[in-house]
A and B are shown apart, each in its own frame.
Chain A
Amino acid sequence: MAINKNTSKYCETRLSGSGGQGLILGGIILARGAIKDGLKVSQSQSYGPESRGGSSRADVIINDDMIYYPEATHFDILLALNQESCDKYIYDLKPEGVLIVDTTFVKNVSVMDSKVYEVPFTKLATEKIGSVVTTNILALSFLVKITKVITEKSLEEAIKESVKPAFYEMNMKAMKLGFELADNYK
């Protein structure tokens, strides 16, 4: 995998897109999962009034040792759910980093050496799960399976803790679909 060169587990992830796409919850779930794996974690986000629209991002830094600075500056993983965030943040992706984009909204990817995964998350969430609000879980599960930044088991537990019980089943469906999609790339 791309991230765990050497023995260090240090990994910077940025989840980006627009307000209302559930990115901050995605960041919280990823962070909770990391704790379950016994890792240290720091999660921060852009903070603004947008719960719909505008740009939004959540950073998750995971390490097996001390984390000093909470914001991601050189990403190992970048998830971009819209064109604007893809264009804006791609320059801070490490050369060996992983880029995952939602092709529902991201039409142009100007990449260097990064590993790029292009999946129409929003379209699939709407068509296969039946709800656009599961886009974040679908994309996050894909990200976890591809990068192994946390274990699948911890992700599942973290989702369970973080979503309302009424939406649990639907999000499990989204998670499984995310894993399946990732398998297609192997």
Chain B
Amino acid sequence: MAAVPQKTIHKYLRHNKKFPHVWCPGCSNGIVLGTIIRAIDDLKLERDDIAMVSGIGCSSRMPVYVDFNTLHTLHGRAIPFATGIKMFKPHMKVIVITGDGDATAIGGNHFIHAARRNIDLTVILINNNIYGMTGGQYSPTTPHDDVATTMPYGNIDNPFNICDLAIGAGATFVSRTTAYHAIEAQNMIKKAIAHEGFSLVEVISACPVIYGKLNKKGNAPKMMNQMKDNSIPLAAVNKLPKEKVEGKIIRGILKEVDRPEYTKAYQDLVDKLNNK
């Protein structure tokens, strides 16, 4: 990694197009964008072969900034749009950028079914525990008792564990990290893209301007530090006493298995019917 990280990122941005971006100061989305670009650069992928697809939300604004085949779709529907691209052009690397609300509330059905099919999509789910773009309504990952503009008295809902959901649905690569752990995220994303099958990278992120403010989490640096302090690597889980693990964000590759990939299985069917 001799390249200056910023230079690498600039190589892939659509500079003269739609900047400045829409993200608030202190938002983790920019960090995640950097890790994705560096992962792609490391993998030496052809940018013509990359499609980046998103739904609706803060993180879903990402594709417009990068010089790939980019598609900004409907709320919750990024995965089926991406499925269409992957099915018709299986050689393409299709990356889905989504958030906690986009992927697990309105798009929850598509999320589990893509995992079940094991279609080769790389889903990078930036989880900031809130609907940021619309001003702070609670999402399926807002912690119990936290405040949101539509839970002013504290959240009575229970949050999803998104990685557990993906594992239960049959995803073949499931991992979690945080925006603080940028290098770890970059390596995870590399592995996820290289993985043949449905892969999920959940990136816990900070939304200091909306979620942080509503829940008195402090400023952006403070929230970054919380991600560091409140998370432990998967490898450490068994070594630590139970009380030190409880309530912590577990980082690491939680599942990585081989199972026939959907577009390959379809091609096998086509070949069989044509006696190849």
Q: Is A–B contact present in the complex under a CB 8 A cutoff?
A: no
Interface residues of B (CB under 8 A from A): none
Interface residues of A (CB under 8 A from B): none
